[in-house]
Structure 1
Amino acid sequence: MKLHWQILIALVLAILAGLNTAPGSSLYAGYDFVGELFLNALKMVIVPLIMSSIIASMAGLVGGDSLGRLGLKTLAYYTATSLCAILLGLTLVNICQPGIINGEAAGASLNLSIDKEQLASTLQQVTGRDSGDIIAIFIRMVPTNIVAAAAEGQMLGLIFFSLLFGFFMGRIDAQGKQTLIRFWQGAADTMVLITLFIMRFAPMGVFALVAKTISSTGFAAFQPMLIFLVTVILALLLHAFIVLPLLLKLLAGLSGRKQLQAMAPALLMAFSTASSSATLPLTMECVQHRAGVSRKTASFILPLGATVNMDGTALYECVAAMFIAQAYGLELGFVTQFTIVVLALLTSIGVAGIPAASLVAIAVILSAVGLPLEAIGLLLVTDRLLDMLRTSVNIFSDACGAVIIAKSEGEKGILEDPN
């Protein structure tokens, strides 16, 4: 049975079980135990997964002529569109405020353990400051001890070190480079398998976390989750149907409607599979034969995009982190929100192709700004539908990038109707 069906069944059973379980009972304690075990397993993979994925991806990017003119255009496009997506998500989540219900933080409805004194202490270093303290963020990006940074969950420093290591690993002599690439690629592949293994227990984790919540709060948890779901969907649709077509028109003078028509088969595939990698062959087929991009351009931009360009994922990570912060009743200042934007951008690049990438990336963001991770399990309730949508947005952004860059390279016949 597909994992999303398992999670859906677990969700239904969790509602039934939660309604028939008294808080404080032995069953309730069992739900708490299983839910915490699942969250601990997710936390366990964060550091090795982030490091191995970023280092392996960066080393592959440095090799060959990837950093030439085409590579720089591609990276500039991917960075710009991901940043647009994150800022769009940040704007909507601040407007809709899904974590606030009737003027109150939704944490109680979501059964989150809110210890305001502890949270205030944890967030003291990153909240309530002005834009001048952005300097402190960049100081934290260069840790004095990378091992200590990993142990303390200082993910900005860890990501920065991994980017540097991967970049310069790709520039050493061929023998040493190949040895290190094989090691880190092997480590990344191993972490993928471990993450897949943990996600096999996701239905049990969802069951335990949701049953515990329903047992304590009844159906009050579903109102904030519904508003969160609508906020993310609205942001994804605006990015796909407004921002990307606008970029097509402004940068390449091309029609967004024609691009949607050309990419329709790949978008449907992405929606049904929720996998950028599984959709990649069809994406390349549509971009080359339906949009008219050359094989040379498509074969460079699209595989790279499937690894590092995740507009929908970055948007979702940002909205989810802000939603959880709102649910705890925390007013995040400009500096903290800027930190979330930077981390959403970097983690969407670093773990884009990893199963359950968003959950791992959200854990990274929450750890970096000092928020508890217990709310992550609740995100699994809506994750399947949102995963399908954000994967479609990821694929469409990759395809738009291929078309825009091909046009800038002087290619002819892009998005022209066949004679």
Structure 2
Amino acid sequence: MEKKKSSLAVRMSISLVCGLVAGLLLMFLRENLNSTGKEAVWATINSILFQDITVAGAEKALGIFYIIGQLFIRSLQLVIVPMVFTSITLAIGQISDTRTLGRISVKTIAGFLICSFFALLMACVVGIMIYNAGVFNIQVEGLEGSAGSTGSNPLNVILNIVPSNITAVFSTNTSVLAIVFLAVSLGLCMKAVGDEKSATLKKLITEVNDIVVVFLNYVVTKFGPFAIFVLLARTFATYGINHLKPALAYVVVTVILLLLFLFVGYPIFVAVTTKQNPVKFAKKIFRVAVFGFSTSSSAAALPLNVKTTTEELGVDEKIASFVLPLGMTINMNGTAIMQVVATLFIAGCAGYDVTLSQLIVIALLALIASAGTPAAPGAGAIILFTILSGLGYINDGALLAYSLILAINRPIEMLVTALNVVGDSATAIYVAKSEGMLNEDIYNS
């Protein structure tokens, strides 16, 4: 078993490196062909390998890499709702003491908030320094302003916790917070009626959960490494240098902050809260970070995160089954960091003055908006418009800068997802340790 885990981690790491190298080479090939008057050659390559076949005008494209990548991601998304629902329901049912459940919930939220506070503090301090230095004062040209999604009150995320239609919730992957609410409610109700009356339902939920786990293990181990290569290669191959240049300041600042919190912030959090070796955590969670980076979806990475956190980091299954799905929904530290820096970048491009009070509002809006961000690729940049509209940053310059963010944010979103999923696991370790439910022998193995 240990050899199998190691083999999968090695294969994923190789796929990551190969995918990045192939993607960058393809990016430069694209630039070279387009700059030497050979646009038709690249158009043919793009049509055969990388084209999104679902968009208008792509009726004759093959899009081989796109199809393979989407088949893999959809296979994972297929079981997100049943996995989250069954795992949390069973976790609630297995925690016999209601007071223990309440204590675990409080510790989970506290862990999320601690990480979010320091992530936002870092983003605000560094971001405002860069903003005040004038680095974000960039003229964005060559793009049409985008109105983005309709701005809405970030507090709507609270309303969306309780669904008005149970069937609608189970028919989409974007209502995971409502799924969590239903699962917790069902678990508590099953406890209230007793084991004898809920035995049949519990057996059904357990069997569905077992089937989901088998399916996910097969998809991840058999197709994961190849899919990672395909997804990475296609992502970088479809980006042009001309889009990246104007937003270089935003990209560099955001990447540095995300990497800093990923490789320094979370290990420090684990070391301080659990007194465990942070190097062990970093080594074992690496493949989950790679998987999240490749798929750019916290939801798609959830199955592997649960597996790694329980089997390799020693977190009790009852804790992991509760903390990780909840974290996938509301613990979005990477998204919050990205949104703070993006907002300051857009403010600089559009000529807005950002005061200390406005910076605090930006941080609070980023925290609330990120909690309501669907665990799907590209969602963070779309929800960003909620923050901009809430602050009134909607002049022509702001919309142009926002359009630029939408155009180039895919690589950033990939790193954001890696940060989000690692943060969920770090919090699960903290909660498990505080409850005496962390197997330290497995963690240190």
Bin for the TM-score computed over the shorter chain: 0.5 to 0.7
Separation in structure 1 between the aligned mates of residue 373 and residue 363 of structure 2, nearest angstrom: 16
1:275 aligns with 2:286: no
* 1:408 counterpart letter in structure 2: S
CA–CA distance in structure 2, aligned partners of residues 223 and 243 of structure 1 = 29
The residue aligned with 1:312 is 334
Deviation digits for residues 197-220 of structure 1 (CA, Å, limit 9, x no counterpart): xxxxxx9xxx9xx99xx9xxxx6x
Q: How far did residue 288 of structure 1 move?
A: 0.8
TM-score for both structures, normalised by structure 2: 0.58
Question: Does the 8 Å CA contact 1:288/1:295 hold for their aligned counterparts?
Answer: yes
Residue 165 of structure 2 aligns with which residue? 180
Partners of 1:72 and 1:350 lie apart in 2 by 19
| Segments of 4+ moved more than 4 angstroms | 63-67, 108-113, 183-191, 221-224
Structure 1: gaps spanning 5 or more residues: 20-56, 114-150, 170-176, 192-202
**Aligned residue runs from structure 1 range 11-410, under 5 A:** 68-97=102-131, 100-101=134-135, 105-107=137-139, 153=151, 155=152, 158-163=153-158, 165-166=159-160, 169=162, 180-183=165-168, 223-372=245-394, 373-410=399-436
Would the alpha carbon gap of residues 188 and 75 (structure 1) be closer, same or farther in structure 2, given more than 3 Å must change? same
- 1:310 Cα shift? 1.2
* Partners of 1:98 and 1:228 in 2: CA distance: 14
Q: Post-superposition shift, 1:187?
A: 7.6
More relative contact order in 1 or in 2 (CA 8 Å, sep 6+)?
Answer: 1
Query: Structure 1 residues 341, 189: CA separation in 2 closer, same or farther (over 3 Å shift)?
Result: closer
Q: CA RMSD in A?
A: 4.2
- Change in Cα spacing, 1:293 to 1:412, as seen in structure 2 (3 Å) is closer
Unaligned runs of 5+ in 2: 1-22, 38-84, 177-233
Query: Does the CA contact (< 8 Å) of 2:143 and 2:403 recur in 1?
Result: no
Aligned residues: percent identity? Answer: 28
Distance 1:316 1:110, change over 3 A: farther
User: What is the TM-score of this pair, normalised by structure 1?
Assistant: 0.61
The offset of 1:267, in angstroms, is: 1.6
Q: Which amino acid aligns with 1:94?
A: I
The residue matched to 2:400 in structure 1 has which SS?
coil
**Aligned length in residues:** 303
Answer whether contact 2:140 2:246 (CA < 8 A) is retained.
no
Instruction: Give the Cα separation in 2 of the matches to 1:243 and 1:223.
Output: 29
Residue matched to 2:439: 413
Q: Distance in 2 between matches of 1:254 and 1:354?
A: 32
The aligned amino acid for 1:182 is T
Q: Which range moved further: 327-336 or 296-305?
A: 327-336
Q: Does the aligned pair in 2 maintain the 1:98–1:231 contact within 8 Å?
A: no
Contact 1:263–1:396, Cα closer than 8 Å, also in 2: yes
Query: Which amino acid counterpart does residue 154 of structure 2 have in structure 1?
Result: I
CA contact (8 A) 1:99 1:105 kept: no
Residues in 2 aligned to 1:265 and 1:294: alpha-carbon distance in whole angstroms: 20
What is the Cα deviation at residue 266 of structure 1? Answer: 1.3
